[in-house]
Chain A
Amino acid sequence: MNTQMLKKPDISFYKGQIITGKWHKKTYHVVRKLGSGAIGTVYLCVCNNVQVALKVSKQSHSITSEVNVLKVLKKVQGHRLGPSLIDVDDYVHRNGYVYSFYVMEYISGEPLSQFVNRHGEEWLYSLLVGFLKDLQALHNEGYIFGDLKMENLIVSRKPARLRWVDVGGTTLVGRSIKEYTEFYDRAYWQAGTRKADPGYDLFALAMVVLRIYYPQGFERGNNPKKTLMQKTSMAIKHTGIRQLINKMLNGEMIEADIVKNELIYYTMKQNRSRTQQVNTKQHTRHDSVVYPMMEVLSILSISGLCYLYVAIFM
């Protein structure tokens, strides 16, 4: 069996291809590839005029595992954790191999880092407040997200909301984390175990925040904990939030709700001091408006002189 699994080729769908499930006979039109990861590839498809995301992999057991997680999330959908599951089926390829796939709700949006760059830092924290509420709901169900990272987070619009798109790492509390990414992994930074507990997600979330300030990431160094402290103090100006992030990295934070409450407290405080900042900003804006106008005037006058010169002497 193992030998066969090894030889089983990777699968890729082309634009316009029609995928029909072996069991439920539903038909999906492939629109384009959305992305691929360690386990499989996700395609944007259309089924009955509805856009959906279809994930296919040669590792049937990984697909089944993820489906199990999505089913758990479905039970708490009152809260809309992650994408909802639409269909699970097999695709029989012409080569005779069977590839498992599942279909989920398509969440459109933009990457978190891009969103924060465009709308400003204060949005980061207000998105996190909502996200921490979701995380707490997931933890209450006895699950840990696991592979929490920038690439797995999307900001959907109207209203702006931070949502997770890949549930492959979701793990039962008390078990070993199924999937992780070094930069966001507590054990990699020697700050704790790789056992699934709420603190694991909160560590990863703190790393997501750091990643906003260091888009390229940074090296672990000889003393990982010290590296983290340094990077945090260099990036985050606000004392309260910096201390909160440090507590998440140190393992002092073990409940998403508490992080959420502290974050609300600090962002509200920050907003009060922000009104002054806005005033100073307006001054600079006046300056920046005056300078281009002077430039335009000088260009016009120079070209006017040239015109006169040409008209009179030529």
Chain B
Amino acid sequence: MRTGTLKQILLITDGCSNQGEDPASIARIIAEQGITVNVIGILEETQTEESQGLNEVEEIASNGQGVSQIVYKQALSQTVQAVTKQAMNETLQGVVNKELQQILGNTRSMDELPPEQRGEVMEVVDELGETCDLEVLVLVDTSASMTNKLPTVQEALIDLSISMNARIGRSRFSIYQFPGRRKPIHQLVDWTSKLESISSIFAKISTGGVTPTGPALKEAMHQFGKKSLKRRLFHNEYTDVEEA
């Protein structure tokens, strides 16, 4: 069973979008391209989980076929890691479920199997999760209110790369901030497997501006497209991966 490379966008934000297209509908389009959109909403110490402003988080993720989580910044490292892994797992279960449906007939999915057989299928999912290649584009909200959270975000991302690089499969990351100066997003780190050296980049980020989450997501999707296009040109290798 081949899964190819899993592609994810990880959006880290602390508030609602206030400019451009509806991010949830953009997320739906991105999901159609085979890219999962996960969202992490960071709370202020004074906020509660039910507070307004982060309602959008769950909506974007559900439309983006991804996972969402709302956390206080102390818990960010563990959450970034858990969300990424859970989303991988769900995508892979989706792949396995499709295979199962072909074998067992229309309506069967993993959860409908008796527990004894489910265990064996789960081993396949675990195996795939360990060996598949993964690409994560991290999209960090750098509007003014995020300033004091960026050191934590940086730590969480370094930690994510430590976790993902412990896998057998290859992992690659790129980091973008939004809003960019004149564009919706601005590249901070190009595709790389190691994020240990990102501390210098986060130190000199300029924060401020509005929160154009929709346009930022749209641009982020194209970064997968560009990259694979470039790879095609270099390696002259035609894959069946859907293009953005």
Contact = CB atoms under 8 A, between A and B. Distances in A.
Interface string A76-103: 0000000000001110000000101000
A98 B110 CA distance: 12
Contacts of A1: 90, 93-94, 97, 109
Interface residues of B, number: 38
A194 B125 CA distance: 20
B189 interface: no
B159 interface: yes
B65 interface: yes
B166 to A, nearest CB: 4
Interface stretch (B41-49, B113-121, B197-205, B230-238): B113-121
Given A38-B82, A64-B118, A67-B115, A174 B65 contact: no
Given A174-B168, A177-B166, A194-B163, A2 B115 contact: no
Contacts of A193: 162, 165-166
Given A2-B62, A176-B130, A64 B119 contact: yes
Contact of A65 (B68, B77, B114, B126): B126
A188 B160 CA distance: 11
Nearest to A59: B86
A68 interface: yes
Contacts of A67: 115, 119
B123 interface: yes
Interface string A87-126: 0111000000010100000000000000000000000000
A89 B115 contact: yes
Contact of A175 (B94, B115, B122, B168): B168
Contacts of B166: 175-177, 187, 193-195
A60 interface: yes
A10 B109 CA distance: 21
Contacts of A100: 111, 115
B115 A64 contact: yes
Contacts of A71: 119
Contacts of B119: 64, 67-68, 71, 88
Contacts of B94: 1-2
B167 A175 contact: yes
Main secondary structure of the interface of B (DSSP, over half): helix
Contacts of A47: none
A67 B165 CA distance: 26
Nearest to A193: B166
A187 B116 CA distance: 35
Max count, chain B CB within 10 A of own CB: residue among A3, A90, A176, A194? A176
Contacts of A88: 115-116, 119
Interface string B104-142: 000001110011101100110110001000000000000
B198 to A, nearest CB: 15
B93 A61 contact: yes
A98 B115 contact: no
Nearest to A177: B166
A268 interface: no
Contacts of B114: 23
26 contacts: A1-B90, A1-B97, A1-B109, A2-B67, A3-B63, A3-B65, A5-B90, A6-B68, A23-B114, A38-B82, A61-B122, A64-B122, A65-B122, A65-B126, A67-B115, A67-B119, A68-B126, A100-B111, A100-B115, A175-B130, A175-B166, A175-B167, A177-B163, A182-B77, A182-B78, A187-B166
Given A3-B62, A3-B63, A64-B118, 17 more contacts: A1-B93, A3-B65, A5-B90, A6-B67, A38-B82, A59-B86, A64-B122, A67-B115, A68-B123, A68-B126, A98-B111, A100-B115, A176-B166, A182-B77, A187-B163, A193-B162, A193-B166
Interface of B: 58, 61-63, 65-68, 77-78, 82, 86, 89-90, 93-94, 97, 109-111, 114-116, 118-119, 122-123, 125-126, 130, 159, 162-168
Shortest 5 CB-CB contacts between residues of A and residues of B? A176-B166, A194-B166, A88-B115, A64-B122, A195-B166
